[in-house]
Structure 1
Amino acid sequence: MKNIPTLSDINIKNKFVLLRSDLNSDIKDGKILPSERIKQSAITIKELKKKGAKVVIIAHQGRPDSSDFTSLYEHSKQLNKYIKVMYVNDLVGEEALGAIKNLMPGEALLLDNIRFNKDEMNPSSKKNSLVEFFCKNKDFKFEYYINDAFSVCHREQTSITEFPKHIKSVIGRVMERELAALENLRLRDANCLFILGGAKPEDNIKLLKSKNKIITGGIFGQVCTLAKGKNLGAQNKFLAKQIKDLPKIITKIKPQSKSIQTPSDFAVKGKNDSRIELKLEEFPSQFEIYDIGKITIDQYVKEISKAKAVYMKGPLGYCEDEKFSTGTITILNEIAKRTKENKLFSLIGGGHLSNAFARANLNEKDFSHISLSGGALLSFIAGEKLPGLEVLKK
């Protein structure tokens, strides 16, 4: 985006810079899992250190009251595998203040979870303690604020929308790369194919009014099939248990359901966990659905061959089971093949595709861009204005 300044536009040598990174990661049994977001964040931090800045990093993990709402101590250890950073278990207290004041050029300091401070989620609070500490502190002054967290740019939160009002602001390299990919997608908008899958149908609804061709799979494809009035049998009960407010979601999808391409056949799990493919007219079925079928796969491959750009969100089947990863893997392989042939710009979103990448021996180099940005990405593609971007525009 031409009207948003980047790191290339500023001189940061010997200057304090405040970097908003995205370190939010999956946590299992209280431990942080290997995180691509942390690995990517190191790219910008490395450049800032190399250019001699005094770098203070702020980030979040989880939401208040959620099970993954933790400190960033484990994140700092994982981040140190890629780039050396210091860490303090503090945010706006004396320990944080002392560590910031003692920073030398070329050093980086990670503070604790920004959401531990209630003012992060309340940007309009009159006496915002985060604004007071980071933007109006008499003991140090940040010359620049660098937003490298595209994934939260659809949120109005203090570190996203308030800090740029007080400090000169630019975007980091991870954000810059994300926006470049989205601009590329937008330039090919007329010939862009949306492949929408995954297990969160409510996330995809905002894209349904798009003029782009939409093909569906996964739980989303099944819900769209219900919206067309089809009875899937046993899968109806599964979806009702799995999805909160399913009737409301179906009602929202119905007006656009005729323009959405849904699967012509499905793979169900039969006796002895076998893969059985059934045409749509063979439903309702006593078996639950785990993948799209071969007829649908062939139809979707043809749609990909006609596209100049593809946005794929989420798997089209249950990729944890090899028998039911066929649809997702075949489609990903076709996208990767046409990307390598320079016939297609491919943007892949949705972290749950990682299992399919491993099974198909694919990685990020096989696609034009892989996004880790979730809701912000969907909002941008749907044409919504993102508060975190609007405040950065010149």
Structure 2
Amino acid sequence: MKTLDDFNFYDKTILVRADLNSEVDKGKLVFSERIKESAQTIFEIKRRGGKVIVMAHQGRKGEDDFTNLKQHAAYLNYYGKIKFVDDVVGKKAVDNIRKMKIGEVILLDNIRSIDEEFKPEKGKNNILIKTLVPLVDIYINDAFSVSHRKQTSIISFPKYIPSGIGRLFEKEIKALKKIDVKNTLFILGGAKPEDNLKLIRERNILTCGTFCHLTLIAKGFLLGAQNEYLKKEFNNYNEMVDEIKKNLDGVSTPVDFAVDYSNKRFEIELEKFPNEYRIYDIGSLTVSQYSSEIKKAKTIFFKGPSGMYTDKRFRFGTYKILQAISRSKAYSIIAGGHSNEALKACRISKNKFDYVSLSGGALISYLAGEKLPGLEALKE
């Protein structure tokens, strides 16, 4: 795969697929590391005389975090001048691209507002390809975090124009190549258990978050109110539990949990479940056991907080696990957007880990040995 070092960008029009997807709180975009990291590739190409068109997404249609990218442009302006164009493939977008001068940068609107982003099978007849390919000289994918998805902006452009990867994509690949999956301690938590299922066949896993609740259920434990919550929250609850049941060797689960009792953190051992309490964090005994395993590990991969770290009462588990990793001698990777936010909440420096990744699902897919469509497209 080609990197930025392999291209001459001077007076060329460059289409950069970035991942600017960030949290949205009551309509307001929350600044994220993704925006900061994406700026490196965008403004390097600008400095090298390119005309840069940035393409990105925010949320999904029908969800609360689906917004235009005007606020993203405002944040990117901290790093260099960028113009927001509230269009993707219409006359306004085309006119702005044609008028671009050397060193100018524009950000097109949310790529997911175009239905054909999800129809790459249309090939040359796809509106994104038909409109943008004639206007662009080089395509750069700097969105490793969505390269596990078969979407037009990820897999189609490399078929028609010279292509390569950006600095963030390059960093992710370099870090992942250092991981020996068979000798890695995986600490898997967070609120997206579907991603973690791909690594369930690995031998050494410490489960946290929603994933550990499902794993305990797969082992035959009843969690009461937490069981009922999970059934309502996940349409594929039964399928996930069945999949976990097939791969329980080497999978460790918590021995105690923290619940909300009279608005205070209260820890309950596993043997006292089922009960009427929702689970919000792992308990102190579990933290102690997991910390012992962390000390022995040579390579550690952490994805997903152990509990509701946004609530100070239930930040303890996430803080202690991250602290133990930061103090270990192991090669460590922290992965996923929520893991990044947890580091900030826990006030633990990113410098204490070998690599902190902004990717979640794509990174898991890569480690599970799956071929990433975005990566394969760039190899062709």
Give the TM-score band, short-chain normalised: over 0.9
2:286 matched to 1:296? yes
Deviations 1:121-172 (A, max 9, x none): 111126212111122x2xx4x3211100112211111111110000011100
Question: Between the two proteins, what is the percent identity of the paired residues?
Answer: 47
**Worse-matched range after superposition: 163-172 or 280-289:** 280-289
What amino acid sits opposite 2:283 in the alignment?
G
CA distance in 2, matches of 1:299, 1:15: 56
Conserved 8 A contact 1:319-1:355: no
> Within 5 Å, which residues of 2 pair with 1:89-238?
89-125=86-122, 127-135=125-133, 137=134, 140=135, 142-185=136-179, 188-210=180-202, 212-238=203-229
CA deviation after TM superposition for structure 1 residue 355, in Å:
5.2
Query: What letter matches 1:204 in structure 2?
Result: N
Contact 2:337/2:359 (CA < 8 Å) preserved in 1?
A: no
Amino acid at match of 2:246: P
User: Which whole-Å CA distance do the structure 1 matches of 2:43 and 2:259 have between them?
Assistant: 48
Cα deviation for residue 116 of structure 1 reads 2.2
Q: Is 2:378 aligned against 1:392? A: yes
1:34 aligns with 2:31: yes
Q: 1:278 to 1:115 in 2, by over 3 A?
A: closer
Q: Does 1:336 align with 2:326?
A: yes
Question: Greater CA deviation, 200-209 or 383-392?
Answer: 200-209
- Paired residues, what number? 379
Which is worse superposed, 361-370 or 328-337? 361-370
Structure 2 vs 1, CA of residues 278 and 168 (structure 1 numbering), >3 Å: closer, same or farther? Answer: same
Give 1:354 shift.
4.6
Q: Could you tell me whether the CA contact under 8 Å between 1:119 and 1:158 is conserved in 2?
A: yes
1:115 Cα shift? Answer: 2.2
The one-letter code matched in structure 1 to 2:292 is: K
Gap runs ≥5 in structure 1: none
**SS of 1:285's equivalent?**
coil
Does 2:107 align with 1:79? no
RMSD: 1.8
8 Å contact 1:216–1:262 — kept in the other structure?
yes
TM-score w.r.t. structure 1 length? 0.91
1:1-80 equivalences in 2 (<5 Å): 4-80=1-77
2-side partners of 1:133 and 1:302: how far apart? 56
Alpha carbons 1:58, 1:110 under 8 Å: kept: yes
Change (3 A) 1:131 1:359: closer
Q: Distance in 2 between matches of 1:261 and 1:255?
A: 14
For 1:289 and 1:381, locate their aligned partners in 2 and report how far apart those are by CA, in whole Å: 29
**Equivalent residue letter for 2:241:** I
Give the secondary structure class of the aligned counterpart of 2:140.
strand
Q: Distance in 1 between matches of 2:225 and 2:60?
A: 35
Q: What secondary structure, in the 3-state scheme, does the structure 2 residue paired with 1:134 have?
A: helix
Query: Alignment partner for residue 353 of structure 1, among 339, 357, 374?
Result: 339
Q: Distance in 2 between matches of 1:82 and 1:102?
A: 22
Query: Which stretch shifts more, 368-377 or 42-51?
Result: 368-377
Runs of at least 4 residues of structure 1 off by over 6 A? none
| Other structure's SS at 2:274 match | coil
Deviation string for 1:273-310 (max 9, x for gaps)?
A: 33333332233334332222222111111111121211
Q: Deviations over 1:182-204 (max 9, x none)?
A: 1122xx33321100111222221
1:256 aligns with 247
Q: Which amino acid aligns with 1:315?
A: P
Letter matched to residue 292 of structure 1 = I
